[in-house]
Structure 1
Amino acid sequence: MKTESSKRLALPLAWGLGAAALVTVAAPAAAQPHLAPARAAAKRVVLTNADDGRSVVLAAGDDVEVRLTGARSQGLTHAWSVPQAKDADTLRRTVGGASPGGGAQAVFHAEKQGVTTLTAARSCRPDPGRVCPTVVVPWKVTAEVR
Protein backbone atom coordinates (compact mmCIF):
# COMPACT_ATOMS: atom_id res chain seq x y z
CA MET A 1 0.00 0.00 0.00
CA LYS A 2 2.89 2.34 0.69
CA THR A 3 4.05 1.86 -2.91
CA GLU A 4 0.60 2.88 -4.20
CA SER A 5 0.67 6.26 -2.42
CA SER A 6 4.24 6.90 -3.60
CA LYS A 7 3.24 6.40 -7.21
CA ARG A 8 0.30 8.78 -6.85
CA LEU A 9 2.56 11.52 -5.41
CA ALA A 10 5.37 11.00 -7.91
CA LEU A 11 3.25 11.44 -11.03
CA PRO A 12 1.92 14.95 -10.27
CA LEU A 13 5.35 16.04 -9.05
CA ALA A 14 6.99 14.80 -12.25
CA TRP A 15 4.36 16.56 -14.36
CA GLY A 16 4.96 19.81 -12.49
CA LEU A 17 8.72 19.65 -12.95
CA GLY A 18 8.69 18.73 -16.61
CA ALA A 19 10.12 15.76 -18.48
CA ALA A 20 13.73 16.48 -17.46
CA ALA A 21 12.84 15.63 -13.86
CA LEU A 22 11.93 12.09 -14.91
CA VAL A 23 15.49 11.28 -16.00
CA THR A 24 17.47 13.21 -13.38
CA VAL A 25 19.32 10.91 -10.98
CA ALA A 26 21.76 12.06 -8.33
CA ALA A 27 24.41 9.75 -6.93
CA PRO A 28 25.22 9.97 -3.22
CA ALA A 29 28.04 12.38 -2.35
CA ALA A 30 30.29 9.47 -1.34
CA ALA A 31 30.04 8.15 -4.91
CA GLN A 32 31.29 11.48 -6.32
CA PRO A 33 34.83 11.92 -4.93
CA HIS A 34 35.85 14.20 -7.81
CA LEU A 35 33.47 16.96 -6.70
CA ALA A 36 34.87 19.72 -4.48
CA PRO A 37 33.03 20.51 -1.27
CA ALA A 38 30.36 23.14 -1.73
CA ARG A 39 31.43 26.71 -0.96
CA ALA A 40 28.94 29.28 0.18
CA ALA A 41 27.64 31.29 -2.76
CA ALA A 42 29.33 34.64 -3.31
CA LYS A 43 27.26 37.55 -2.11
CA ARG A 44 26.79 41.06 -3.45
CA VAL A 45 26.63 43.94 -0.98
CA VAL A 46 25.01 47.15 -2.23
CA LEU A 47 26.10 50.45 -0.64
CA THR A 48 24.41 53.82 -1.08
CA ASN A 49 24.75 57.42 0.16
CA ALA A 50 23.26 56.37 3.52
CA ASP A 51 26.07 53.86 4.17
CA ASP A 52 28.70 56.56 4.78
CA GLY A 53 30.77 55.56 7.82
CA ARG A 54 29.63 51.93 7.73
CA SER A 55 31.88 48.86 7.95
CA VAL A 56 31.24 45.72 5.94
CA VAL A 57 32.68 42.22 6.21
CA LEU A 58 33.15 40.22 3.03
CA ALA A 59 34.53 36.88 1.93
CA ALA A 60 36.97 36.51 -0.94
CA GLY A 61 34.86 36.24 -4.09
CA ASP A 62 32.10 38.60 -2.90
CA ASP A 63 31.19 41.77 -4.78
CA VAL A 64 30.46 45.26 -3.46
CA GLU A 65 28.31 47.57 -5.55
CA VAL A 66 28.40 51.27 -4.70
CA ARG A 67 25.48 53.43 -5.94
CA LEU A 68 25.79 57.08 -5.01
CA THR A 69 23.01 59.47 -5.98
CA GLY A 70 23.78 63.05 -6.91
CA ALA A 71 21.42 66.00 -6.65
CA ARG A 72 20.53 68.89 -8.93
CA SER A 73 18.89 72.08 -7.76
CA GLN A 74 18.78 75.74 -8.83
CA GLY A 75 21.49 75.39 -11.47
CA LEU A 76 23.86 73.43 -9.24
CA THR A 77 24.74 69.75 -9.57
CA HIS A 78 26.10 68.03 -6.48
CA ALA A 79 28.07 65.26 -8.15
CA TRP A 80 29.97 62.25 -6.79
CA SER A 81 33.40 61.14 -7.91
CA VAL A 82 33.73 57.54 -9.06
CA PRO A 83 34.24 55.36 -5.94
CA GLN A 84 37.80 54.12 -5.34
CA ALA A 85 39.33 51.40 -3.15
CA LYS A 86 42.43 52.39 -1.20
CA ASP A 87 43.88 48.88 -1.62
CA ALA A 88 43.06 47.58 -5.11
CA ASP A 89 44.74 44.25 -4.30
CA THR A 90 42.08 43.58 -1.65
CA LEU A 91 39.07 45.06 -3.49
CA ARG A 92 39.54 45.31 -7.25
CA ARG A 93 37.22 47.67 -9.10
CA THR A 94 35.67 45.84 -12.03
CA VAL A 95 33.45 48.65 -13.29
CA GLY A 96 32.85 52.29 -12.45
CA GLY A 97 31.46 55.49 -13.84
CA ALA A 98 29.55 58.70 -13.22
CA SER A 99 26.31 60.02 -14.66
CA PRO A 100 25.57 63.54 -15.93
CA GLY A 101 23.04 63.94 -13.10
CA GLY A 102 25.78 63.66 -10.47
CA GLY A 103 25.46 60.00 -9.56
CA ALA A 104 28.38 57.59 -9.50
CA GLN A 105 28.62 53.83 -9.32
CA ALA A 106 31.24 51.12 -9.11
CA VAL A 107 31.52 47.40 -8.50
CA PHE A 108 34.43 45.92 -6.55
CA HIS A 109 35.44 42.27 -6.33
CA ALA A 110 36.92 40.96 -3.07
CA GLU A 111 40.23 39.42 -4.15
CA LYS A 112 42.09 38.57 -0.95
CA GLN A 113 42.07 39.04 2.82
CA GLY A 114 42.69 42.52 4.12
CA VAL A 115 41.12 45.77 5.23
CA THR A 116 40.62 48.70 2.89
CA THR A 117 38.42 51.74 2.48
CA LEU A 118 36.05 52.69 -0.30
CA THR A 119 35.87 56.42 -0.83
CA ALA A 120 34.16 59.02 -2.99
CA ALA A 121 33.61 62.75 -2.72
CA ARG A 122 30.63 64.92 -3.57
CA SER A 123 31.31 68.39 -4.90
CA CYS A 124 29.35 71.07 -6.67
CA ARG A 125 29.35 71.73 -10.42
CA PRO A 126 27.63 75.01 -11.35
CA ASP A 127 25.74 75.83 -14.51
CA PRO A 128 27.14 78.84 -16.42
CA GLY A 129 26.50 82.02 -14.44
CA ARG A 130 26.11 80.17 -11.14
CA VAL A 131 28.53 79.91 -8.22
CA CYS A 132 29.02 76.85 -6.02
CA PRO A 133 30.02 76.73 -2.39
CA THR A 134 33.50 75.25 -1.98
CA VAL A 135 32.28 72.35 0.12
CA VAL A 136 33.41 68.79 -0.56
CA VAL A 137 31.46 66.02 1.17
CA PRO A 138 33.45 62.81 1.69
CA TRP A 139 31.91 59.32 1.64
CA LYS A 140 33.78 56.41 3.20
CA VAL A 141 33.13 52.74 3.97
CA THR A 142 35.59 50.36 5.61
CA ALA A 143 35.63 46.89 4.05
CA GLU A 144 37.23 43.83 5.62
CA VAL A 145 37.77 40.77 3.44
CA ARG A 146 38.14 37.60 5.52
Structure 2
Amino acid sequence: MRVKALAVPFALGMALTGVALSAPASFADTSAATVTLTETDNGTAVSVHTGDVIKVQLTGSRGNGLTWTWSTPTASSTDVLTQTDSASLADGSVTATFQANSNGTTVITSTKGCVPDPGHFCSHLMQQWNATVTVN
Protein backbone atom coordinates (compact mmCIF):
# COMPACT_ATOMS: atom_id res chain seq x y z
CA MET A 1 0.00 0.00 0.00
CA ARG A 2 2.91 2.35 0.60
CA VAL A 3 3.82 2.29 -3.13
CA LYS A 4 0.30 3.35 -4.20
CA ALA A 5 0.28 6.16 -1.68
CA LEU A 6 3.53 7.58 -3.09
CA ALA A 7 2.55 7.30 -6.76
CA VAL A 8 0.04 10.18 -6.79
CA PRO A 9 2.31 12.73 -5.03
CA PHE A 10 5.20 11.68 -7.30
CA ALA A 11 3.11 12.16 -10.46
CA LEU A 12 1.78 15.49 -9.18
CA GLY A 13 5.30 16.64 -8.35
CA MET A 14 6.55 15.66 -11.82
CA ALA A 15 3.68 17.53 -13.46
CA LEU A 16 4.38 20.67 -11.43
CA THR A 17 8.06 20.61 -12.41
CA GLY A 18 7.21 20.33 -16.11
CA VAL A 19 8.34 16.73 -16.54
CA ALA A 20 5.85 14.89 -18.71
CA LEU A 21 4.81 11.40 -17.82
CA SER A 22 3.74 9.11 -20.63
CA ALA A 23 2.67 5.53 -20.94
CA PRO A 24 5.22 3.06 -22.26
CA ALA A 25 5.09 2.49 -26.02
CA SER A 26 3.42 -0.88 -25.47
CA PHE A 27 0.38 0.95 -24.09
CA ALA A 28 0.10 3.41 -26.98
CA ASP A 29 -3.12 3.34 -29.03
CA THR A 30 -2.13 1.50 -32.18
CA SER A 31 -5.62 0.75 -33.48
CA ALA A 32 -6.21 1.80 -37.06
CA ALA A 33 -9.57 3.04 -38.23
CA THR A 34 -11.29 1.48 -41.25
CA VAL A 35 -13.25 3.67 -43.67
CA THR A 36 -15.53 1.95 -46.19
CA LEU A 37 -16.47 3.77 -49.39
CA THR A 38 -19.30 2.69 -51.75
CA GLU A 39 -21.09 4.08 -54.82
CA THR A 40 -22.94 6.56 -52.60
CA ASP A 41 -19.59 8.13 -51.68
CA ASN A 42 -18.87 9.16 -55.28
CA GLY A 43 -17.28 12.62 -55.34
CA THR A 44 -16.77 12.82 -51.59
CA ALA A 45 -13.66 13.76 -49.64
CA VAL A 46 -12.54 11.89 -46.53
CA SER A 47 -9.73 12.45 -44.05
CA VAL A 48 -7.85 9.58 -42.43
CA HIS A 49 -4.69 9.11 -40.40
CA THR A 50 -1.49 7.30 -41.26
CA GLY A 51 -2.05 3.59 -40.68
CA ASP A 52 -5.80 3.71 -41.34
CA VAL A 53 -7.42 1.35 -43.83
CA ILE A 54 -9.70 2.41 -46.68
CA LYS A 55 -11.99 -0.20 -48.24
CA VAL A 56 -13.75 0.48 -51.51
CA GLN A 57 -16.79 -1.67 -52.36
CA LEU A 58 -18.51 -1.00 -55.69
CA THR A 59 -21.46 -3.09 -56.83
CA GLY A 60 -21.84 -4.20 -60.42
CA SER A 61 -24.93 -5.72 -62.02
CA ARG A 62 -25.75 -8.49 -64.43
CA GLY A 63 -28.89 -9.01 -66.47
CA ASN A 64 -30.34 -9.24 -69.98
CA GLY A 65 -27.03 -10.48 -71.40
CA LEU A 66 -25.08 -7.50 -70.04
CA THR A 67 -22.68 -7.12 -67.13
CA TRP A 68 -22.01 -3.63 -65.78
CA THR A 69 -18.59 -4.07 -64.27
CA TRP A 70 -16.29 -1.78 -62.26
CA SER A 71 -12.56 -1.49 -62.91
CA THR A 72 -10.27 -2.16 -59.96
CA PRO A 73 -10.07 1.06 -57.89
CA THR A 74 -6.67 2.72 -57.98
CA ALA A 75 -5.09 5.59 -56.05
CA SER A 76 -3.45 8.44 -57.94
CA SER A 77 -0.58 8.54 -55.41
CA THR A 78 0.77 5.21 -54.25
CA ASP A 79 3.05 7.08 -51.83
CA VAL A 80 -0.03 8.22 -49.89
CA LEU A 81 -2.17 5.05 -50.27
CA THR A 82 -0.89 1.57 -51.04
CA GLN A 83 -3.35 -0.97 -52.40
CA THR A 84 -3.10 -4.11 -50.26
CA ASP A 85 -5.90 -6.22 -51.73
CA SER A 86 -8.48 -6.31 -54.52
CA ALA A 87 -11.08 -8.68 -55.92
CA SER A 88 -13.49 -8.73 -58.85
CA LEU A 89 -16.71 -10.74 -58.90
CA ALA A 90 -18.61 -12.23 -61.85
CA ASP A 91 -21.48 -9.75 -61.36
CA GLY A 92 -19.12 -6.81 -62.00
CA SER A 93 -18.60 -5.86 -58.36
CA VAL A 94 -15.12 -4.99 -57.09
CA THR A 95 -13.46 -4.46 -53.74
CA ALA A 96 -10.11 -2.88 -53.00
CA THR A 97 -8.28 -2.22 -49.76
CA PHE A 98 -5.76 0.57 -49.25
CA GLN A 99 -3.37 1.39 -46.39
CA ALA A 100 -2.72 5.06 -45.55
CA ASN A 101 1.09 5.37 -45.62
CA SER A 102 2.05 9.02 -45.54
CA ASN A 103 0.61 12.52 -45.33
CA GLY A 104 -0.86 13.86 -48.53
CA THR A 105 -3.90 13.81 -50.76
CA THR A 106 -4.80 11.25 -53.41
CA VAL A 107 -7.84 10.36 -55.48
CA ILE A 108 -9.20 6.83 -55.70
CA THR A 109 -10.91 6.18 -59.04
CA SER A 110 -12.85 3.44 -60.79
CA THR A 111 -14.87 3.23 -64.00
CA LYS A 112 -18.04 1.23 -64.62
CA GLY A 113 -18.65 -0.05 -68.12
CA CYS A 114 -20.69 -2.63 -69.95
CA VAL A 115 -19.46 -6.08 -71.01
CA PRO A 116 -21.93 -7.87 -73.32
CA ASP A 117 -22.55 -11.61 -73.55
CA PRO A 118 -22.22 -13.02 -77.09
CA GLY A 119 -25.09 -11.77 -79.26
CA HIS A 120 -25.75 -8.74 -77.06
CA PHE A 121 -24.64 -5.14 -77.47
CA CYS A 122 -23.74 -2.41 -74.97
CA SER A 123 -23.89 1.32 -75.11
CA HIS A 124 -20.59 3.12 -74.85
CA LEU A 125 -21.63 4.87 -71.65
CA MET A 126 -19.11 4.82 -68.82
CA GLN A 127 -19.67 5.82 -65.22
CA GLN A 128 -16.79 7.42 -63.31
CA TRP A 129 -16.42 7.03 -59.54
CA ASN A 130 -13.91 8.89 -57.38
CA ALA A 131 -13.21 9.83 -53.80
CA THR A 132 -10.52 12.20 -52.53
CA VAL A 133 -8.58 10.89 -49.54
CA THR A 134 -6.41 13.15 -47.37
CA VAL A 135 -4.01 11.47 -44.96
CA ASN A 136 -2.72 13.51 -42.03
TM range (shorter): 0.7 to 0.9
The verdict on how the C-alpha distance between 1:33 and 1:122 changes in structure 2, with shifts beyond 3 A counting, is closer
- Alignment match, 2:40: 50
- Per-residue deviation, 1:33: 7.0
The percentage of counterpart residues that share the same residue type is 37
List runs of 5+ in structure 2 lacking aligned partners.
1-6, 12-20
TM-score by length of 1: 0.75
Moved over 4 A (4+): none
- Per-residue deviation, 1:42: 1.0
- Alignment match, 1:72: 62
Tell me whether 1:104 sits opposite 2:99 in the alignment.
Answer: no
1:1-146 superposed matches below 5 A:
35-36=24-25, 38-39=28-29, 41-146=31-136
For 1:143 and 1:33, how far apart are their aligned partners in 2? 31
Larger C-alpha radius of gyration, 1 or 2?
1
SS of the aligned residue for 1:139 comes to strand
- Per-residue deviation, 1:34: 7.6
Q: How many residues align?
A: 117
- Per-residue deviation, 1:41: 2.4
The range that moved more, 69-78 or 102-111, is 69-78
RMSD between aligned residues: 1.9
For 2:24 and 2:70, how far apart are their aligned partners in 1? 45
